Amino acid sequence: MKALLYLNSYFLKYKWSMLLGILITIAAKIFSLFTPKLIGNLVDVISRFLSSDRSDLVQFKTDLFLNISLLIGSALLAGVFTFFMRQTIINVSRYVEFDLKNEIYEQYQRLSLSFYKSNRTGDLMSRISEDVGKVRMYVGPAIMYTMNMVTLFIIAFINMYREAPSLTLYVIIPLPLLSLSIYYLSRQINSRSTEVQQHLSTLSAFTQEAFSGIAILKSFAIEPLSNREFQSLADTQRKKQLDLTKVQALFFPMMLLLIGFSNILVLYIGGRQYMDGTIKEFGTIVEFLVYVNMLTWPVATLGWVTSIVQEAEASQQRINDFLLIKPEIQNPSLDPFVVKGSIQFENVSFTYPDTNIKAINNLSFSLSAGETLAIIGKTGSGKSSILDLISRLYNPDSGTIYIDQQDISKVNLKDLRRQIGYVTQDAFLFSDSIKNNIRFGRLEASDEEIIESAKVADLHDNITSFSKGYDTLLGERGVTLSGGQKQRMSIARSIVKNPIMKY
């Protein structure tokens, strides 16, 4: 469970809510454990009355009413505390899920472009959704049911041992066997659940790429090939999931078998002790039967909780693999940095880390503020790489880049990027309105500024031709723009940013 130690900071953050939930859990179990004793008392009251001359009917009714009232009252209190137990512990698990997803998302934004080029989008999505969901089950239900089980076992054992010590020891005989079985099965579950989660990421990544590139699949008529590949991945996922399910399926039958064996021991050993006088009241045997059957669900959930913990361990390890990565591009300073515009490359070389392709080799040039530079070259000659380096999306392998005579690796990274207007050759548009896609360049931009930037980018006439104008939705839920329109949208986004004017 080493990977789950990462969650200790969240437990510390919500320690008071978690502690309150644990105390409520203990209170709920205490009230629920009044039930066996009260049922035993009821049986004894009825047994004594039936074996007497039945003359004291008033006292019999009084004792009967008192025990029934206490039984109903304890059940109601147990129900109320159980409700608040879920409202505290389960809520904490949702808070942790929310915080963990935000932490992962923030880490994704901090990581460099080389990380995204070496990891598939479907895998990233799986870790922030499927894996976090597995971890939430550990933080909430697993802890809640574990506390239920521990409290129930401790109090039940004390009560049972006080009533009939030797019978209690016979009843707990199956528990060591249960512990050994759980130890073996939990190791199998951990191994197989890790395989399931890893392959699920592969399946998610393939599906995401297929949907994103559906136009290519259709244009080249390779849907059958894509279907076969998906079928193969899905079959593998099914087999791995079935392997995990087969192991998990052993838990409940084994639990029920052991509980049934305990019931038989109660009836046989308890019956013999009642007949030889070791147990004085018949209600004690009934009480033990209720205790044993009350332990059925906690014992059964022990296997389920073990499964949850093992799956959460595997998922948290996959999450930690990304959370513990230190971004290659770090912000070295929080001091304000104002760009005037001069740029200098001094013997700069750069190789893409994911492909080992050398894009720039010993490049030097200088550009004064206010000057314009056009760089022309064939595909792969490093034109886009120069822009990536100026924005510090990558660090050069060697050499130094200066802006206003300052090494950009030592200045405030956020201020640097805020003052750069960057139009990529692959324009990305969000599934949102045209207005909001342009406003992405500067979130506080007014409608008038958005329209003006669209006019400068020669996009205004195209936008007004749509029935909803600037409120037209783009992407999956709206219209699809041409390649040229996407480029001009990206230009308008950069124009509305107006980076230098903000400083």
Mean pLDDT, residues 54-79 taken together: 83
Tokens coding 337: 């940095």
Q: Where in the chain are all domains bearing CATH 3.40.50.300?
A: 343-418, 434-502
Q: Which residues touch 213 (CB under 8 Å, ≥6 apart)?
A: none
Q: What are the CA-CA distances from residue 211 to residues 75, 101, 215, 239, 476 (Å)?
A: 53, 24, 9, 24, 11
| CB count in 10 Å sphere of residue 76 | 11
Q: Select the more confidently predicted residue: 304 or 449.
A: 449
pLDDT (0 to 100) of residue 183: 65
Output DSSP code: residue 473.
Answer: B
3-323, CATH topology level = ABC transporter transmembrane region fold (1.20.1560)
Q: Where in the chain are all domains bearing CATH 1.20.1560.10?
A: 3-323
In CATH, the number for domain 434-502 is: 3.40.50.300
- The string over 150-169, giving b where at least 16 C-beta atoms fall within 10 Å of a residue's C-beta and e elsewhere, is ebbbebbeebbeebbeebbe
Q: Which residues touch 173 (CB under 8 Å, ≥6 apart)?
A: 262, 265
Give the architecture (CATH level 2) of 343-418: 3-Layer(aba) Sandwich (3.40)
Mean pLDDT, residues 182-192 taken together: 73
Residues 7, 302, 131, 106, Cα dihedral to 10°: -20
pLDDT (0 to 100) of residue 479: 61
pLDDT above 60 (res 24): yes
Report the share of the chain in percent with pLDDT over 70.
94
d(CA 128, CA 130): 6
What does the pLDDT look like over 90-137, one tens digit per residue? 899 999 999 999 999 999 888 888 788 777 777 788 888 888 998 999
Q: Answer for the pair 85, 24: CB distance below 8 angstroms, yes or no.
A: yes
Amino acid letter at 421? Answer: G
Amino acid letter at 429? Answer: L
Report pTM: 0.69
Mean pLDDT, residues 77-82 taken together: 87
d(CA 428, CA 464): 21
d(CA 409, CA 333): 9
pLDDT above 70 (res 200): yes
What does the pLDDT look like over 270-303, one tens digit per residue? 888 888 888 877 788 888 888 887 776 676 667 6
Q: Which helix (H) or strand (E) holds 364?
A: strand 358-367
Q: Answer for the pair 443, 433: CB distance below 8 angstroms, yes or no.
A: no
